[in-house]
Amino acid sequence: MAARVKATGGLRGWIRRLRPVTDADDELVVSELYREYHRPLLGFVIRLTGGDRQWAEDVVQETMIRAWRGADRLDADAPSLMPWLATVARRIVIDDRRRRDARPQESGEEPLESLPIPDEMEDLLRKVIVSEALKSLSPAHREILNETILRDRSVNEAAQLLGIPVGTVKSRVYYAVRALRVALEERGVTA
- pLDDT at residue 10, as a whole number: 53
- pLDDT at residue 112, as a whole number: 60
pLDDT greater than 90 at residue 174: yes
Q: Note the pLDDT tens digit of each residue in 56-89.
A: 999 999 988 888 777 767 776 778 888 888 899 9
Per the prediction, the chain carries an average pLDDT of: 80
21, amino acid identity: V
pLDDT greater than 50 at residue 8: no
Predicted structure pTM score:
0.45
pLDDT greater than 80 at residue 168: yes
Tell which wins on pLDDT, 169 or 3. 169
Tell me how far CA of residue 179 lies from CA of 43, 109, 145, 160, 185, in angstroms: 79, 49, 11, 24, 10
What percentage of the chain has pLDDT greater than the value 90? 38
Specify burial of residue 93 (Cβ count, 10 A radius: 0-12, 13-18, 19+). buried
Tell which wins on pLDDT, 35 or 22. 35
CA distance 42 to 60: 6
Q: Note the pLDDT tens digit of each residue in 104-146.
A: 766 666 666 666 666 677 788 888 888 898 999 999 999 999 9
Sign of CA dihedral 142, 143, 149, 154: negative
Full set of structural domains in the chain with CATH: 2-102 (1.10.1740.10), 120-186 (1.10.10.10)
